Chains A and B, each alone.
Chain A
Amino acid sequence: MKALHFIPRPPEQKAGAQKWAALAAVFLALGLGALVLKAAGASPPAVYKVFFVDPFSSAYTLAEIANKTVTLSLIALALAAGFRANIWNIGAEGQFTAGAIAASFVAVWLLEESGRWAVFAVLAGGVCGGMAWAAAPAFLRAKVGVNEILTSLMLVYVSLLLLSYVVHGPLKDPEGFNFPQSPLFGESSLVPSLLEEYPLYATILVLPPALLASHYFVSRSWAGFQMRVIGLAPRAGDYAGFSRARPVWISFLLTGAFAGFVGAAEVAGTAGQLTPVISPGYGFTAIIVAFLGRLHPLGIVAAGMLMAMIQIGGENGQIDLALPVSVSGVFQGLILFSLLAADFLVHYQIRRRGD
């Protein structure tokens, strides 16, 4: 190591280097993942074929990937705003669940309603539920100074228990043969599919405006500017008189709203009812999507697609290759680790002594 030394990279080079670091990280993770698969007795080429090649031969799988990409990207877009300001909401999973629960209450209440407005009421219920769930850690961080990482995460466990209580209790279908699930939602409460034959949910229509809005928010708006300043140099923000509490509220309520929205769309779309398990960990995966997408809107969509492919691949591989679903968790961790390692090369240039 004596022969090498590290020079901080000038800031103007960092943006470009970040993209390459993300790509390098994906390939590094796939390489490490191959080792894990090999150790577990699976064939890496066969698994990667299921992940990245097979989807393109099935329109159904492509639609599934699109749906998951939308879910992950929407949460990650909102998370990215907070991460820029060093606000770590890692409880999006809980906000997603709270949104789904609130939406289900609305849907069950509107069971007999035939007007098409019902679906908007259901989605609005999800947004409110998610925001309410996010408001607690935001309040504690902004007013009392409690570390938001731990509180937001604790509320994930609480939300999952609440979900269990709700499907076993208040929302249990009275005609459901005692299964822990809500009644099937009314036709008018369901998010429609854009295609007849495949389930491509209309939620996707929200993605382009959300991308534009988040781009505008981050790079053009006053609040977005303040959040970037606070993230890069907190004391500069203090001297400029920027509120420390406002970014906390903005980022938490934004994530709560988006996560609650997709939570509602999930139960009013794919499932059509509230069940004891509604998410394969979207809220946690979205954290990785935000990082891998370098907190940039388009990057987030690309990263969301990659994560969706790995997740769907994990589910399909379960049948074809007898691969556990949890393999996608391994890949998520590896990608994030690789990314953090690759970031060293974003921040530093390596030179030999004497160069």
Chain B
Amino acid sequence: MDWVLLPLLFYAAAHSAAPLLIAGLGELITEKSGVLNLGVEGMMLIGAVFAFIAAHDGGGFAGGLLAAAAAGFAVAGLFAFLTVGLRANQVACGLALAIFGGGLSAFAGLSYEGKSLPDSVFAFADFAHKKFVHDLFLLFALFMLAATWWFLNRSRAGLILRAAGENHDAARQTGYPVSWIRAAAVLYGGVMCALAGAYLSLVYTPLWAQGMSAGRGWIVLALVVFASWRPGRLLLGAFLFGFMGILNFTLQNWGATVAPEFLAMAPYLATIAVLAAISWKMRRRRSRDFPSCLGKPLPLSR
């Protein structure tokens, strides 16, 4: 075991945590407004595939990000129309979004599997070191973390968003457009999840492969629960799972003889363990920051 590697390990874990943090911050805002969007996995895959296609076909890095954001916006819009507009069951719609995202991304990305991005995509980062684009996303994630904290706890708009998630009847009677607030929160969540997907296909791998998010979207949902809907704790959770994600490479480096499949199970089993621990701790009362109207459709006004 080489302790000199430890800082490098931290660095790698941070890069593996970045997409979880970005998507988690998006989902956090969505849930704080009272909407449970289980389709994170689908939105990440949609973002990943359209980012890759756009970047590969000459759009460059910025084009890829833009395409991902637009695609995330579009599918989240569909979800918002159904759940916020038509008051459809949020759990079922989220599952539909996860399945649809998986199918559509596989369909759209079929001829891009196994291709690599042209060098020109990363030409803008040539002046810096090799991991610069990784760092870019990491910085974005940390900036958004601070911004989300400020928005939720210090801004008037954040207070209104929390009110919509906490008690939608009271918020509506106070005169706030609860449905529009929720729709906006869903759309924001969709864009963030898609950007997290774009990070995976443009920078982290960087390849497109069917189902490449490998359950990260579902882990993100667990992370938001683990974080008790607090941005700061989300950072902790994302880091924890970032370590899990690189466990594979790390332990092999250190001469472990466990089958790689068992190491790859770690993030999923850890998710279950973390959820069990948090549920056990919270079994008497819900977290103070739990949005009470989460998953409940706003009654139609007459």
Contact = CB atoms under 8 A, between A and B. Distances in A.
B103 A328 contact: yes
Interface residues of A, number: 48
A150 B91 contact: no
Contacts of B86: 340-341, 343-344
A95 interface: no
Interface string B217-241: 0110110010000000000000000
Interface in B257-279: 259, 261-262, 264-265, 268-269, 271-272, 275-276, 279
B272 A333 contact: no
Contact of B103 (A147, A157, A165, A329): A329
A151 B91 contact: no
Nearest to A325: B106
Contact of A329 (B78, B102, B261, B300): B102
B74 interface: no
A144 B100 contact: no
**Range of interface residues on chain B?**
35 or more
Contacts, number: 141
Given A149-B38, A157-B214, A324-B107, A5 B100 contact: no
Contacts of A164: 261
Contact of B104 (A136, A154, A169, A330): A330
Interface string B280-292: 1001000000000
Main SS at interface, chain B:
helix
B104 A333 contact: yes
B302 interface: yes
Contacts of A284: 99
A333 to B, nearest CB: 2
B264 to A, nearest CB: 5
Interface of A: 5-6, 36, 40, 88, 90, 136, 140, 144-147, 149-151, 153-155, 157-158, 161-162, 164-165, 168-169, 284, 287-288, 291, 324, 326-334, 336-337, 340-341, 343-344, 347-348
26 contacts: A5-B302, A40-B107, A90-B95, A144-B280, A145-B283, A146-B275, A147-B279, A150-B222, A154-B219, A154-B269, A154-B271, A155-B268, A164-B261, A168-B259, A288-B99, A291-B92, A330-B107, A333-B42, A333-B96, A333-B97, A337-B78, A337-B97, A340-B86, A340-B88, A343-B88, A343-B89
